[in-house]
A and B are shown apart, each in its own frame.
Chain A
Amino acid sequence: MPRDSDSVLVDEDGTGTGQRHPARRRRARILLYVVLAIVALLFIFPFYFMAVGAFQKDPTTTLSSLAPTGRWTLSNFATINERLGLLRALANSLVFTAGVLAGTLVFGLAAGYALARLNWRGRGALFVIMLGVQMVPFQLLMIPLYVQIAGNYGLGDTYAGMILPSLINTTAVFIFRQFFRSLPESIFEAARIDGASELRVLRSIAIPMVRPAIATVVLITFIGPWNEFLWPFLITKDSSMQPLAVALANYISNVAGTVANPNGAILAGACTLAFPVVILFCLFQRYFTASDIGAGIKG
């Protein structure tokens, strides 16, 4: 993100008082970088700890083990795989996440477009309801949803039951609406005058123009189901249906106490769950910025 000289805490271009103390100004800026770097290390350190420990034969948690020189191994991954079927759990996580992504992209995109560009009765009411929805905590809905989905619909231990409560991400609908609203009306008018149907306008004009929004929505929506613990934990009793977050949590709370040294296996499982997301967000960080998120949250 290109940024010209800013001056919230530190002066970049010497005006006013700063000009008289260029050396002091430089020192202050270097100090700021050092402080931020230390804070950033605090944020990243547990990931380093996780990654190193996952490949150590017997990860201890003393200072000397932080920079190991040898004894690298893959046995922790083999152990956790034996216990909870790592590939099966990863596949369950992927199906859960793909279902939510598909629902959000198809239905959320359509709703976002209708809210932003079409004139129909109930549009204002739906928008107000969406604002209200963000205030309702899922935890209040947990019990009735469980009765409804596991009991009435008989969807316990199914992917459909897992996906249903998060099928369409409301934050994503907000983001789509915001992006569609920012497109100039003249493009749409021109297409309509040329005789394009409303659906064709959406498919050939609007959607290609909001590609960055789609990238942002994929990132934001991805972390929901991939990381979610509570709902899939409630709805799956069959361990072969559990996504990785649930399987790993069960290992931590039930199995870990019964084996000799579970640390390596826990860290290997934690790595498998964490690093796909970490890599995704490092690669596509430019689609996860202040303005994208702001648009989604404030509506």
Chain B
Amino acid sequence: MTTSTSVAPTSTPGLPRPATRDPWWRRLLGKQPLGLGMSLPYIVFLALVMAYPLGYAVYISFFDYVFTAPGVHADHPFVGLANYRAVLSDPRVLDSFGNIAVFLVINVPLTVILSMVLASALNSLTRWTAAFRVAFYVPYVTASVSLIGVWMLMFSDDGLVNSLLGPLAPDPSWLVNSHLAMPSIALFVTWKQLGFYVLLYLAALQNVPRELYESAQVDGAGAVQRFRHITVPGVRSATLLVLVLAIITGSNLFTEPYLLTSGGGPDGASASPVLLIYQKGIQQGNPDLASAIGVILVILVGLLSLASTRLTKED
């Protein structure tokens, strides 16, 4: 490569242009201000439906807040941490966090293990892969409401699952049994979301060099050893992503307890924090308490995600 002497000094890469040659708006907005114009609708959208409500949610949680009809003025006195104290001493709220813990303990390990194994099995095959992939993600792309309708019938008292189990069928049945309601929801969500995580692992597996498997095989490593020592460490960053997404999805549980176990039943055994946010915030008109639950939930999710980062870090 030879350097050309005819290159104009202004376009020499790495050297800052003399500032005086740019008009003021170019200095303020960058070389191609059109970019800002093209992104502006998206930026306004993020500010309007993300940033503003996020700040508002945190704000409400520190005030005594009630809904008013438009035009009616109501005082919203600052109450400090009173909303937080109220929700943290409410046994129903604490139970809902406990329910989510049960959910995560079942859902997250099942999701990570099953999706990793299915993806690497799929990755090792040459035929029918598209058909298998579609079969795995079809529940993911389908509406929860539809699938809940089917699961309700299959897991009802005289449903298909119980008639298959015969005398082994649980009594009371799955969705109305206070010990089995939350595990049933965890299984449903694992089944519904698994295909998406299989796709994520399939993407990660494309980056694991084929030669590693070949040389391990020459050295006499079996399938299980190759999975443990090549696949699992090779897709570590995908595992972190799957962990974090599964934790976020699980913490946001609403439709399943609302519909599948008809409002977090039996007797609150499958109530989730988001269900309580809905009940307290919209149904009972206490957006301040609802927002406090939301903020606590987000902090807990953040802590769990941080813990996942630690867990998947290389030793």
Q: B101 at interface (Cβ–Cβ under 8 A)?
A: no
How far apart sit A44 and B222, CA to CA, in the bound complex (Å)?
Answer: 32
In this complex, how many residues of chain B approach chain A with their Cβ under 8 Å: the count is: 114
Nearest chain B residue, comparing its CB with the CB of A288: B137
CB neighbours (8 Å) of B138 from chain A are 43-44, 47, 278, 281
> Taking the complex as formed, is B251 at the interface, i.e. its CB lies under 8 A from any CB of chain A?
yes
Contacts of A126 in B (CB 8 A): 39, 42-43
Of A62, A114, A143, the contact of B39 (CB 8 Å cutoff): A114
Q: Report which of A15, A110, A114, A278 forms a contact with B141, defined as CB distance below 8 A.
A: A278
Q: Are B191 and A10 closer than 8 Å at their CB atoms?
A: no
Is A138 in contact with chain B by the CB < 8 A criterion?
yes
Q: Is the CB of A9 within 8 A of B36?
A: no
Taking CB atoms and an 8 Å cut-off, the chain A residues in 243-288 that contact chain B are 245, 248-249, 252-253, 263, 266-267, 269-271, 273-274, 277-278, 281-282, 285-286, 288
Contact of B124 (CB < 8 Å), options: A6, A120, A151:
A6
A121 to B54, CA, bound (A): 25
Query: Which residues of chain B in 250-308 are interfacial with respect to chain A, using CB atoms and an 8 Å cutoff?
Result: 251-252, 254-255, 258-259, 262-263, 274, 277-278, 281-282, 287, 290-291, 294-295, 297-298, 301-302, 305
Interface 1/0 per residue, B39-79 and A, CB below 8 Å: 10111011001101110110010000001001000000000
Contacts of A138 in B (CB 8 A): 252
Looking at B16-24, B80-88, B89-97, B195-203, the stretch in contact with chain A turns out to be B195-203
- 28 residue pairs A–B, Cβ–Cβ below 8 Å: A6-B126, A8-B124, A15-B217, A32-B121, A36-B118, A36-B121, A44-B135, A61-B158, A62-B160, A63-B163, A111-B38, A111-B42, A123-B30, A129-B46, A135-B302, A140-B57, A143-B294, A145-B53, A147-B287, A227-B142, A229-B145, A249-B258, A270-B149, A274-B143, A274-B146, A289-B133, A290-B205, A294-B203
CA distance A285 to B138 in the complex (A): 10
Q: Does A186 contact B (CB under 8 A)?
A: no
Whether the pair A248, B277 counts as a contact (CB closer than 8 A) is: no
- The interface residues of chain A lying within 8 Å CB-to-CB of B50 are 133, 136, 141
Given A120-B35, A293-B203, are A49 and B142 also a contact pair (CB < 8 Å)?
A: no
Complex alpha-carbon distance, A12 and B223, angstroms:
13
Given contacts A111-B39, A140-B297, A267-B149, 6 further A-B contacts (CB under 8 A): A8-B227, A50-B150, A118-B38, A139-B252, A277-B142, A288-B137
At the interface, yes or no: A144 with Cβ under 8 Å from chain B?
yes
Q: Which of B103-111, B175-183, B206-214 touches A?
A: B206-214
